[in-house]
Structure 1
Amino acid sequence: MKKKVLIIDDSKPIRILLEAILSRHYIVTTVADGLDAMAWLSAGHNADLIVTDLQMPNIDGWELLEHLSGSYLYKEIPVLVLSGEVTNAEPAAMMARYSNVQAVMHKPFDPIVLLEKVAHILNGQLTASLS
């Protein structure tokens, strides 16, 4: 059975690109911000991995990470942060603060590296990674 990936990014072109890259291997759902993501999860849907940007309207990625890590239902869902707004010091601090953050990648990203990180996370082989 294919694993499910929830993509959260306010940029429609990025959502389309990520869906095109990941949908050959996974069931992909895309939403525009953290508010839509929380509504989708609250409606009873589940994800095996969340790929999220940080800078978004409504509930941004930081608030989303707070909600997920503080939730009994969602804190075990691994997260890959994919953002152009991450400084060099933030990834280690982010992963220390939010145990569900398994990897941090910077935009622009290499699609092959993205696929590898997603596969490693979903197969339980990646514990923490910075890119």
Structure 2
Amino acid sequence: MKKTLLIVDDDLGILKLLNFILEKDYEVVVKNNGIDAFKWLDEGNMPEVIIADLQMPYFDGQSFVKNVKISGFYRDIPVMLLSAAHDLPEQISKMPIKIDAYMQKPFKPNDLKTAINQLL
């Protein structure tokens, strides 16, 4: 049985790309914002890994991850942040919550798969 990945990003192109790269190996669920992602989680769904964009409208990646990590239900789900921000490592280091992994956009598909496997 395939492990489930929840991917949260407001960029449709990135969602399609990630789905294409990962769908052979994983059950991929895509949501285009943190609000929809939380609705999906609140319906009782439990992915093995969450991959979220750092910069999203409405409910940015940092707020989304913070809510995941303070939740009693979801805090143990590994989270990877993706971002095109040039200062991503610095932003991650300043966050008040622990980020399990992060990757800079653009990324190499094999590097992404390796990072996901390490989180699993």
* Alignment TM-score, normalising by the size of structure 1: 0.85
Q: Where in structure 2 are there 5+ consecutive unaligned residues?
A: none
Cα distance change on mapping 1:86 and 1:4 into 2, 3 Å: farther
Distance in 2 between residues matched to 1:85 and 1:65, nearest whole Å? 17
Kindly, what percent of the aligned residue pairs are identical? 37
In the alignment, which of 95, 105, 108 is matched to residue 107 of structure 1?
105
- Deviation, structure 1 residue 64: 0.3
Once residues 16 and 34 of structure 1 are traced to their aligned partners in structure 2, the CA distance between those partners, rounded to angstroms, is 17
Which residue of structure 2 aligns with residue 91 of structure 1?
Answer: 92
The answer as to 2:27 corresponding to 1:27 is yes
Which deviations, in whole Å up to 9, do the C-alpha atoms of 1:37-69 show, x marking residues without a partner?
101101111110000001111111011011111
Deviation at 1:86, TM superposition (A): 5.5
Q: Which amino acid aligns with 2:111?
A: V
Unaligned 5+ segments in structure 1 are 123-131
Q: CA RMSD for the aligned pairs?
A: 1.2
TM-score of the superposition, structure 2-length normalised? 0.93
Inter-partner Cα distance in structure 2 for 1:98 and 1:115: 24
How far does the alpha carbon of each residue in 1:55-113 deviate from its partner, in whole angstroms, 9 at most, with x for none? 1111110110111111000111100101112514123344xx323x2111111111110
Q: Measure the CA separation in 1 of the matches of 2:71 and 2:86.
A: 24
State the match for 1:11 in structure 2.
Answer: 11
Runs of 4 or more above 3 Å deviation: none
Counterpart-to-counterpart distance in 2, 1:54 and 1:89: 13
Aligned length: 119
Query: In the alignment, what sits opposite 1:40?
Result: 40
1:119 pairs, out of 103, 117, 120, with 117
